[in-house]
Chain A
Amino acid sequence: MGKTIKLISGDGEMFEVEEAVAFQSNIIKSLADEDNADDCIPLPRVDSQILSKVLEFCRKHANSPSVHTKFAAIPSELCPKHDGSAAGASSSESSSAHSETCRACYDAVMKLVQWDLEFVKVDLDLIHHLLKAANYLDIEDLMFMAVEGAANAIRGNNPEEIRKLFDLENDFTPEEEKEILKEYSWLDDPFEP
């Protein structure tokens, strides 16, 4: 167990986690970097239920930070066999070539991606909280997946269903509504004669 960080949720619960887990949050990382004698970081805006979900995500991602934003470039730490000497022009090129040839790396990333997709198959309320937390704590991968979760809720639904799910109001006037219901009114129709 490496160096740990103590986090206090908004409702006063204490979470002790490894640095690698906590530092996926750029905010926590910068707060910890400041001269902080007792290593205890308060997070007033995140309550314990959400924070524990966030930490569950971070724990899973501890060895592969930013996997979503850098999908083409897999960190060499993922693969025990990779010795960092892959030939190739740019690092992202060689990394994606590496992932192509290294089945273990590729499988590990795909497994992580599958886990992430399951992680965000939760109700929209939780997605909203995760979005807020990811934004507040600045955790790139969690933000990416929370956005994916919200996008999933939209897929295949008609406007009324989307409004219900996201608790939105139809703020079009009746005239506007008539306009937008015409098929091409807002599209840059590529085949318009």
Chain B
Amino acid sequence: MEMARNCDREAEDGGGGRNSSIHGDVLEEVVSRVSALDLLHVSRVSRGWRTAAISSLLCRRRPPCLLLRLQSRRRASAHVYDPISGAWRDVPIPPEASLHGLDAPRVAALASSLSGGPRFYALSSSKLALAADPLGTAWRDLEPPRCWRTDPTVALVGTRLVVAGGGCALEGNAGSVEMCDAYGGGGGCWWEPCEAMPEAFRLSPAISAAASERRLYVVEREPPFGASWFDTETRLWCPTRSLSVPDPTARHVAIGFSNGRLLLAAAGGSGMGWGWAAESVRVWMVEEETLEVASEEVVAEMPREMVAGLAEDGGGGWGLPSIGFLCESGFAYFYNPVYLKEFFLCEQQAAGGSGCRWERIAPPACVEQRPIDRVVLGCCQNGRRR
């Protein structure tokens, strides 16, 4: 670590102000240690600090932005939350990309391993489209999969698009899996049928999915938390196992990839049946090959007051029916998918640091103004490719 020796000269003036110590290389070092969430404040302190903040931002990976689409029959809108600026911004969608209307395909989120790639897809009985950029301000039409599906699990595993489940049980397609190369040449995409989803997932009401470069991971969101992965090279599923969530009171889980690690978020609480109330949200690591949960190390734990906020449902009695969990590059967003009131951002500090940092984020005003509209969420570190 090369340090400018300007400190020595300053020391001679008999301690004339503390700021003599913090400038130049030392200031840059200090600012580089500051969280991305504080950079905006750092940039507003003074000219010298603003320069340090800007150059620090250029050197570091940006925290992932939260992407929000509001879809209804009449209109669609897109919004982005950037943790650096701490604010939402509306992103205009060209009319042909809004995908609203009676015949419009249904926009939903997909799991993806591509950083900066699409986070949304749109599916109808006759149409499949993949967002051309993270927010979906443009779309790429693809050949729809052979089986008609509602609410399948969709993931971009490397450049392969995998569509699993959601098929019609009456036609025997409940767990069918198809795969195609979404970025292959020729504009079309040829769907390849693969080994069907394991029994446990076929009629599962809710599945959480995550994608690595090579595999699609699925976990049942509710007990017994069956988990499996699908390998896109071998086109096979691994034997299903129940995740042993370290919290025996856990009622809801979700998974995601962050910094190359598979993470498991679990909401635990107390009470039985309808009386169950969420009291804790914790994150652990999961071993990718064996699906063992690394129970010794709690990667993140949500502060109690935030868990109360997460489970807050305006008296509707829903509590926390499932856990929304979007993670990427050392950050994670948590939310209540059914009663969306707030987001909770978690920044994992480096090892040896002071633990995780949590912040509350209010959704953009339009979410409350349009309560009937469907909210589709994603998170993405890089924006539009320039």
Contact = CB atoms under 8 A, between A and B. Distances in A.
Given A131-B7, A135-B7, A187 B85 contact: yes
Contacts of B18: 124-125, 128, 166-167
Contacts of A128: 18, 21-22
B316 interface: no
B369 interface: no
Contact of B3 (A113, A125, A143, A148): A143
B89 A184 contact: yes
A171 interface: yes
Given A135-B26, A166-B18, A191-B65, A159 B45 contact: yes
B43 A186 contact: yes
User: Which of B44, B58, B384 has the largest number of chain A CB atoms within 10 A?
Assistant: B44
B60 interface: no
A114 B226 CA distance: 38
B29 A193 contact: no
Interface string A88-105: 000000000000000000
Contacts of B29: 147
B44 A181 contact: yes
Interface string A135-156: 1101010011001101110111
A189 to B, nearest CB: 7
Given A117-B352, A150-B30, A191 B135 contact: yes
A187 B19 contact: no
B168 interface: no
Contacts of B35: 155
Interface in B269-304: none
Contact of A136 (B7, B84, B352, B383): B7
Interface size class of chain B, counting residues whose CB lies under 8 Å from the partner chain: 35 or more
Given A131-B7, A191-B135, A168 B82 contact: no
A162 B41 CA distance: 9
Contact of A155 (B38, B47, B82): B38
Contact of B82 (A138, A140, A191): A191
Contacts of A143: 1, 3
Contacts of B33: 147-148, 151
B50 A187 contact: no
B356 interface: no
B92 interface: yes
Given A117-B353, A155-B35, A191-B383, 5 more contacts: A110-B352, A128-B21, A147-B26, A162-B45, A193-B91
B366 interface: no
Interface in B27-41: 29-31, 33-35, 38, 41
Given A110-B352, A162-B41, A168 B384 contact: no
A191 B34 contact: no
B55 to A, nearest CB: 11
B91 to A, nearest CB: 6
Contacts of A140: 1
A132 B89 contact: no
Given A157-B41, A186-B43, A191-B383, A167 B17 contact: yes
Nearest to B35: A155
A163 interface: yes
Contacts of B1: 69, 140, 143-144
Contact of A190 (B3, B137, B353, B382): B382
A131 B21 contact: yes
A157 B42 CA distance: 9
Given A143-B3, A187-B57, A163 B45 contact: yes
Given A166-B22, A168-B19, A187-B82, A154 B47 contact: no
Nearest to A161: B41
A170 interface: yes
Contacts of B21: 128, 131-132
Nearest to A152: B354
Contacts of B80: 191
A111 B7 CA distance: 31
Interface in B294-339: none
Given A156-B38, A163-B45, A184-B85, A191 B5 contact: no
A162 B384 contact: no
Contacts of A113: 351-352
Contact of B30 (A125, A154, A163): A154
Interface string A161-193: 011001111111000000011011011111111
